[in-house]
Structure 1
C-alpha cells in the first residue's frame, strides 16, 4: 500500500506491503455540524460556563488576546475576525486591543511572520506583538512552587482572552486552555518549574485529572486570571471542525472530549515498525517540535522495534539547551539520569527522546546533516522508503507496521 507523510511543505511517499500493515492511524469518523468561521461564531454565541464575551468586557478596558506562535498550527487569522466583531459589539475600540503571540521558550517572530499569523486585516487594525519574557510581572506562586511571572502587557491588561488549538501533549495531557498563559507568556524559570513536573507518571498524553503539570498550569491561570478562552480542534488538513469558548477549564474540557472522539486510536497490538510524521509544516520546523510525534509513536511500537520519524527539521534542532544536551551528552541514557538530578527546560525533550531510545531504534528522515543525526544517537535515512527497507532488513520480512501520518495529533492506545 502506498502511503504519504507530510514533510515540510512537501511529502514523503512509501510503499508498505499490505500483509505487513496493521493499520494507518487516521482520525476517527466524527459527526460535526459547524466548521471554519461558522464554528467560531457558534462557539462565541454559545459559550460554556460563562456569559457571552460581549457581556464580560466593557468599553475602555484594555483587552489582551494571547495566541500561539508560529510553531503551532493555531489558525489565528481565521479566528480573529469573529472575535474582534464580538469585542466591537461590546464597545471595545481597536486601539484598546492587543494581540500577543505566546512564545514560551521559542524564538521571536519577524514582522512578516506576525503579519501572516494575525492576517493582514487584523494586523492593520490592532497592535500585534510578541510576548517579551524579559519584561514580566510577578503575580504569585502556585502551590507546587511555580512562580507566576507573566509578560507585562498580559499581566497588566484589564481582560485576558486566550486562544489555542487542542491536541495531545506528551506531559500536559492536552494543549490549549490555560497553556496560553503558562508556559505561553511566562518566564523561562517559570516554565522550567512547571515542566519539571513532567517526570511524574501521571504527566502523560491524554490525562487531565491528577496530572500535576496540567493542574499547575490551571492554578497559574487562577493567579493570572483568564477571562475567556476560544480554542479550536483541527482535522488532519488543519481545518477547524470544532470550536469551544468560555470558561478556561470547562470549555477546554469539552474540546478535549471532542479530540478524544477524533484522535484517540485503539490498536489491537503494538507493531515492530512505526512510521510517523507530524503532518508537515509548521509542526516539523525543527526536531524540538517533531519530537511530539515521536512521543506519541512510542505507545504503538514493540520493545526492540523501530520508529521511523519523518520530519523536515529544516530549522535544525530548535532550542539551545535541547541542542546542548543532544550534542554534548556521552550517550542517550546519560540524559535520562541527568534529568532526574538536573531538570532543565529544553533538556526535558532530550531526555524524552532518550527514553524512547531505551525502547526502540529511531530512524530519522529529515533535512539535517547525517553527521549531526548520528551524533544525537539517531539513525539518519535519506527517505521514508529507505528507512522502511532498512527496518525490514533489521527486523525481518514479516515485521509488522503501523503508520501514523498525523503523529502529533494521534494517540495510540494498545488493547494488549
Structure 2
C-alpha cells in the first residue's frame, strides 16, 4: 500500500506490503450539528450540573474569567462575548469583571496580543490582565503536597469562571476543566510540585480517575472554588465543534467523552512498528512541537518495538530548557530520575521522550544532523523507506506496522 504523509511544507511517500499493515489510525466519524458561537450559545443555554451562569452570579460580585494564553488554541474572542452577555443579564457591571490570561510558566503578553485574544470590543469593555506568579495568595496545600498559591486577582474574586479547550494531555489526561487554575494561575513552585507526578504510570493521556496529576489539579478546587466552566473541543482547523458548560467536573467529563468519540481509536493489538507524524508544518517545525505525536505512539507500540517519528524539525529542538535536558543527559534513565528529583518545566518534555525510549527504540526521520540525533538517543534517517527497511531487518520481515498520520490528535488504545 502507498502512503503520502506531511513533512515540513512538503511530504514523504513510502510503501508497505499489505500483509504487514495492522491498521492506519484516522479520527472517528462524529455527527456535528452546531459549530462556533452557535454551539457555545447552546452549551450556555444547557449547563451541566449547575444553573445558568446568569442565575449563579449576583450584581456587585467581583468576577474573574480565567482563559488561555496565546500558546493555546482556545478561541476566547468567540466565547467571551457570550459569557459577558450572561453576566450582563445577571446585572454584573463591566468594571466588576476581570479577564485573566492563565500564563502558567509562559511569558507575558503584549497589549496587542491581549487585544487579539479577546477581540477589541471585549478588550475595551473589561480589564484584561496576565496572571503574575509573584503576586499570589497562599490558600493551602493539597494532600499530595502541592502548594495552592493562586494569582491574587483570581484568589480574591467572589466568582471564578474558567474557559479552555479540551484535548488529550500526555500526563494530565486531558486539558480543560480545572487546569485553568492549576497550572494556569499558579506559581512555578506549585506547578512543579503538581507536574512532578508525570513520571507515574497512571499519569497518561486519556486517564482521569487514577491519574495523580489530574486528581491533584481537581483537589485544588477545594481551596479555590470554580463557579462555572465553558470548555470547547476544536477540529483540525481550530473550529469549535463541541462546547460544554457548567460544573468544573461534570461538564468537563462530557467534553472529554466527546473528544474520546472523535479521537480515541481502538486498535486490535500493539504493533511491532509504529509510524507517527504530527502532520507536517507547523506541527513538526521542531522536536518540542513534535513530541506530542511521539508520546501518543507509546500507547500503540509493543515493549521492545520501534517507533518511527516523521518530523522535519527544520528549527531544531525548539526550546532552550528542553534542549539542555536532552543534550546534557547521560541516558534516558538519567532524565527520568533527574525529573523526579528536580522537576523543571521544559525538562519535563525531555523526560516524556525518555519514557517512550524506555519502551521502544525511536527512529527519527528529520532534517537534523545525524550525529546530533544520536546524541538524543535516537537513530537518524533521511528517508522513511530506509527507516522501515532497518526496522524490518531488526524485528523480522513479518513485523506488524501501525500508522498514525495524525499522531498529535489520535489516541490509540487496546480494549481490555
Shift in CA distance, 50/315, structure 1 to aligned 2, threshold 3 Å: farther
Tell me, what secondary structure is at the counterpart of 1:358?
helix
Shift in CA distance, 297/369, structure 1 to aligned 2, threshold 3 Å: same
Shift in CA distance, 283/102, structure 1 to aligned 2, threshold 3 Å: farther
- 1:391 and 2:388 are equivalent in the alignment: yes
Rounded Cα–Cα distance in structure 2 between residues aligned with 1:388 and 1:113: 43
- Output one character per residue of 1:254-313: Cα deviation in whole Å (capped at 9) or x when no partner: 111122222211111223332323456776565444322211111112334332334566
Rounded Cα–Cα distance in structure 1 between residues aligned with 2:328 and 2:32: 48
Q: Which moved more, 1:284-293 or 1:168-177?
A: 284-293
> What is the Cα deviation at residue 44 of structure 1?
0.4
Rounded Cα–Cα distance in structure 2 between residues aligned with 1:277 and 1:113: 30
Checking the alignment, whether the CA contact within 8 Å between 1:71 and 1:289 is kept in structure 2 is: no
Tell me, what secondary structure is at the counterpart of 1:143?
coil
Rounded Cα–Cα distance in structure 1 between residues aligned with 2:81 and 2:367: 36
TM-score by length of 2: 0.88
Which residues in structure 2 correspond to 1:272-351 (within 5 Å)?
Answer: 272-279=272-279, 287-311=287-311, 317-351=317-351
- Output one character per residue of 1:231-276: Cα deviation in whole Å (capped at 9) or x when no partner: 1112233322211000101111111112222221111122333232
Rounded Cα–Cα distance in structure 1 between residues aligned with 2:281 and 2:52: 34
Rounded Cα–Cα distance in structure 2 between residues aligned with 1:70 and 1:11: 27
Rounded Cα–Cα distance in structure 2 between residues aligned with 1:313 and 1:123: 36
Checking the alignment, whether the CA contact within 8 Å between 1:72 and 1:283 is kept in structure 2 is: no
Rounded Cα–Cα distance in structure 2 between residues aligned with 1:216 and 1:122: 33
Rounded Cα–Cα distance in structure 1 between residues aligned with 2:255 and 2:224: 22
- Output one character per residue of 1:346-402: Cα deviation in whole Å (capped at 9) or x when no partner: 3332222112112223234567666654432234555xxx13432323424655432
Checking the alignment, whether the CA contact within 8 Å between 1:302 and 1:360 is kept in structure 2 is: yes
CA-atom RMSD in angstroms: 2.7
Shift in CA distance, 280/62, structure 1 to aligned 2, threshold 3 Å: farther
Query: What is aligned with 1:99?
Result: 99
Unaligned regions of 5+ residues in structure 2, if any?
Answer: none
> What is the Cα deviation at residue 200 of structure 1?
2.9
- 1:171 and 2:171 are equivalent in the alignment: yes
Rounded Cα–Cα distance in structure 2 between residues aligned with 1:388 and 1:115: 47
Checking the alignment, whether the CA contact within 8 Å between 1:363 and 1:387 is kept in structure 2 is: no
Checking the alignment, whether the CA contact within 8 Å between 1:71 and 1:282 is kept in structure 2 is: no
Shift in CA distance, 275/218, structure 1 to aligned 2, threshold 3 Å: same
Q: Which moved more, 1:47-56 or 1:390-399?
A: 390-399
Rounded Cα–Cα distance in structure 2 between residues aligned with 1:257 and 1:349: 26
Rounded Cα–Cα distance in structure 1 between residues aligned with 2:363 and 2:93: 52
Unaligned regions of 5+ residues in structure 1, if any?
Answer: none
> What is the Cα deviation at residue 184 of structure 1?
1.1
Matched residue count: 411
